[in-house]
Structures are given as structure tokens and as C-alpha cells.
């Protein structure tokens, strides 16, 4: 799933922003997106499985909702935001519809923004749910 998100971001051709194939943190836990503003970083996927239908006596027939989430990070100078920043966020938000995740029943994206020093950091969490 992470690779599908990275490829979808690259297809957007975001003007003025790089796309990193690295994870958003280095081995010491330092956030690379803070060190390298205007680069998009994609974290590893996280999955959660919730029972939808449980069958008696046959666990192999149980049905689950499996949600897979991938978080994307992008940081820019908060005082001098690029002119196309809002457009870039809109493109990244709408990209959820371009990611193919076989059997997905739901696709959502949540955007959180926070400030760290002079940087505005946007975290976009894509969630894809499918029945397994």
C-alpha cells in the first residue's frame, strides 16, 4: 500500500515539491520532513482488523473489516507558504480516489496541520477499508 501511495503522489507531478522514497524518520527518530521542507514523505502502512461476522465453530469463515492506513507528511515555511500550497493539499487529498486497493469498500483521508518552529506541517492519513 505504501508503494501505491508513493507512486500516486509521483503521478501528480507536484510543482515545487519533491517526493522522497525514504521513510519520514531517520534511524534516530528525527523527522526528515522537518529537515527537508517541501519534500513529501510517506510512512509505513498500519493495519487494523475488526470482526464483522464471526461464525461458530469455523474461524476460517469469519469475516473482518480490515483498515489499512498510510500517513503522508509535508512541511513548508509557515511565514512564506508556497503560492500553490493549498492546491497541492487539495491534489493530495483528492488522490485517494486514484489509489487502487483491490476490494476497498471505503477510502478516506484526514488532514491535520500543526506548527513546529517556523514550519507548517501537514499530515494526511489515507485509510482504505475492505472486507476480508
Cell matching residue 51: 470482526
Question: What does the pLDDT read at residue 121?
Answer: 97
Count, residues in the chain: 132
Residue pLDDT, tens place only, 37-76: 999 999 999 999 888 888 777 767 888 889 999 999 999 9
111-131 confidence digits (pLDDT tens): 999 999 999 999 999 999 988
Q: Which helix (H) or strand (E) holds 129?
A: strand 119-131
CB neighbours of residue 3 within 10 Å:
11
Range 59-97 burial, b when 16+ CB lie within 10 A, else e: eeeeeebbbbbbbbbbbbeeeeeeeebeebeebbeebbe
Using one digit for the tens of pLDDT, what is the confidence trace for 7-42?
Answer: 999 999 999 999 999 999 999 989 999 999 999 999
What the chain holds in terms of domains, given with CATH numbers, is: 2-131 (3.30.70)
pTM, full prediction: 0.87
Write out the DSSP string of 39-89.
Answer: EEEEPPPEEEEEEEE--SS-GGG-EEEEEEEEEEEEEEESTT--TTHHHHH
pLDDT 10s digits, 86-97: 999 999 999 988
**pLDDT for the residue numbered 112:** 97
Amino acid at each position: 500500500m505504501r508503494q501505491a501511495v508513493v507512486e500516486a503522489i509521483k503521478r501528480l507531478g507536484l510543482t515545487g515539491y519533491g517526493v522522497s522514497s525514504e521513510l519520514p524518520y531517520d534511524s534516530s527518530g528525527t523527522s526528515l520532513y522537518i529537515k527537508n521542507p517541501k519534500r513529501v514523505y510517506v510512512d509505513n502502512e498500519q493495519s487494523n482488523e475488526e470482526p464483522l461476522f464471526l461464525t461458530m465453530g469455523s474461524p476460517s469463515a469469519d469475516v473482518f473489516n480490515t483498515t489499512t492506513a498510510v500517513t503522508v507528511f509535508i512541511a513548508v515555511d509557515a511565514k512564506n507558504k508556497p503560492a500553490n500550497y493549498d492546491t497541492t493539499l487539495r491534489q493530495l487529498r483528492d488522490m485517494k480516489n486514484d489509489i487502487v486497493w483491490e476490494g476497498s469498500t471505503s477510502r478516506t483521508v484526514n488532514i491535520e496541520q500543526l506548527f513546529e518552529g517556523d514550519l507548517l506541517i501537514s499530515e494526511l492519513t489515507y485509510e482504505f477499508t475492505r472486507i476480508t
